[in-house]
A and B are shown apart, each in its own frame.
Chain A
Amino acid sequence: MTETTLTVSEITRLIKKDLEENFSSLSIVGEISNFKAHSSGHWYFTLKDSDAQISCTMWRGVNNYVFFSPQDGMKVIIIGRITVYPPRGNYQIEVRAMQPAGVGELQLAFEKLKIKLQKEGLFAPENKKEIPELPMKIGIVTSIGGAALKDMISVAKRRFPLVEISIASCAVQGVDAAKSIASAIHLLNIQNEVEVIIVARGGGSLEDLWAFNEEEVAYAIYNSIIPIVTGIGHEIDFTIADFVSDFRAATPTAAMEILTPEKEEIENLIRDYDDAITEKIFSKIEELKEQVSSIVNSYGFRIPVDLLKIYNQKVDTAVYKLNRNIEKYLSERKNKTELLTSKLSAYDIQKTLAKGFVLVKQEDKFVTRAKKFQTARSHTLIFYDNQITLNKNYEEKN
């Protein structure tokens, strides 16, 4: 048996051919260690079990199809082929696809990340932002074609159509979903027009929802300046995103319901205000009326009225006195006139007497007719110069 001497390159080429031909399609289970995601986008890691290890690469573009972020210690099943790298003389597996070795692996990854983020304070209640009470602009981070979006929009339309919705569409599973979700959150933050963001996805398996369990999404939510409400999967699904978010709603529609008041509620609120201010203005007017009337009835305000009364009374008294005085004056004048009149008429009699007429008086009365003369009584004859009284029993001579 003759030994053929080969160059290093020749033997490497042979090995490469042999290995690459015979191990072109492999499925290998192992635990990830030394995982490195290079900035170029390629992944480098070692797959190992208790007794052996093998280097692996997963190129950018191919690794986009891995729905989870591989972590050290995670047990995975990879599909790939063996390649030999002649410059170093080593072999490695070029990985084409990667799956967690079981749901348990994802659960494990989930718990591990949860603990890590918890330690970092991403779930801390004091870091939660307040959810605005009546947001007028809501951002939605979800798949534009998803049923979740349709449901949320119909909830908004029905409950509070005044709200404005901005959709930042993203992939919610598979290819690059975590990055896409994080970008959408980031985009809404850059635009800074919405008051709150809903990060949502309809129901699905743990794998389907996995993007929401990724660190990248967790940080995007944590770093968002705008408050975030999550509505991912169903009631029973809890994702890392739910723990980080400022409020976790059970479903996408529940998230929208929390942020939108029922239109009727708002209408009733407005009507209540309407009633309240009407009632208040009337009671205000009533109050002022009472104030006015209490002022009007106050002692100070009564003084002019009292004065008026006093003056009225004074006027009345004056009028009364005036009337009385006038009467007195008039009656005095009347008496005087009467006196003068009688004096005047007496003066007329004297003149007549001077001419020789005589007045006859009986019992202090003038006897003006012969038939009134009483012969049986005394009588007085009044002359101009004097008067003579004659005794009774003066006989009548016929």
Chain B
Amino acid sequence: MKKKINQSLFKTDLQRLEEISSLLDSSELDLEEAISLYEEGIQLSQKCLKTLTEAELKVNELKSKIDLTTDDNF
């Protein structure tokens, strides 16, 4: 589970960015909150863009050690 969270950091960041955008629409925010959200959003967007630019496709082949032992269950 922990592994999964790490793996989708980009997605989490992107979702947070979306969330910040809608949070900034709410009028209940005070200025400090709004500014700190804004800063967070800008940082996230820069980070996401950087991640995208630097991304290199990761391909790995699963070794089929498991499937032999589980064939019967399937």
A joins B in a complex = yes
Is the Cβ of B8 less than 8 Å from the Cβ of A183?
no
Is the Cβ of A164 less than 8 Å from the Cβ of B58?
yes
Is the Cβ of A187 less than 8 Å from the Cβ of B64?
yes
Please report B residues at the A interface, Cβ cutoff 8 Å: 3-4, 7-8, 10-11, 14, 17-18, 20-21, 24-25, 27, 29, 31, 34-35, 37-38, 41-42, 45, 48-49, 51-52, 55-62, 64, 66-67, 70-71, 73-74
Q: In chain B, what residue has the closest Cβ to A280?
A: B24
Name A119-150 residues within 8 Å CB distance of B.
134, 136-137, 139, 144
Q: In chain A, what residue has the closest Cβ to B35?
A: A281
**Closest Cβ–Cβ distance, residue A169 to chain B (whole Å):** 6
Q: In chain A, what residue has the closest Cβ to B27?
A: A287
- Specify which chain B residues have a CB less than 8 angstroms from the CB of A164 in the assembled complex: 7, 57-60
Is the Cβ of B29 less than 8 Å from the Cβ of A161?
no
- Specify which chain B residues have a CB less than 8 angstroms from the CB of A42 in the assembled complex: none
Is the Cβ of B64 less than 8 Å from the Cβ of A281?
no
B62 CB contact (under 8 Å) in A163, A191, A263: A191
Closest 7 CB pairs of A and B: A183-B67, A280-B24, A162-B55, A161-B55, A281-B38, A277-B41, A274-B45
**Closest Cβ–Cβ distance, residue A121 to chain B (whole Å):** 20
Is the Cβ of A285 less than 8 Å from the Cβ of B31?
yes
A168 touches B (CB below 8 Å) = yes
A183→B71 CA distance, assembly (Å) = 6
A187 CB contact (under 8 Å) in B21, B49, B58, B67: B67
B17 CB contact (under 8 Å) in A144, A157, A168, A273: A273
Is the Cβ of B62 less than 8 Å from the Cβ of A187?
yes
Is the Cβ of A276 less than 8 Å from the Cβ of B56?
no
Is the Cβ of A274 less than 8 Å from the Cβ of B42?
yes
Is the Cβ of B56 less than 8 Å from the Cβ of A277?
no
Q: Say which one of A64-72, A96-104, A264-272, A367-375 lies at the interface with B.
A: A264-272
Is the Cβ of B59 less than 8 Å from the Cβ of A153?
yes
A13→B34 CA distance, assembly (Å) = 96
Is the Cβ of A277 less than 8 Å from the Cβ of B7?
no
A259→B65 CA distance, assembly (Å) = 28
Name A240-276 residues within 8 Å CB distance of B.
263, 266-267, 269-271, 273-274, 276
Q: A166-B62, A284-B34 are in contact. List 15 more A-B contacts (CB 8 A).
A: A134-B14, A136-B8, A157-B57, A162-B51, A162-B55, A163-B57, A165-B57, A167-B60, A186-B74, A187-B70, A190-B66, A193-B3, A274-B42, A274-B45, A285-B31
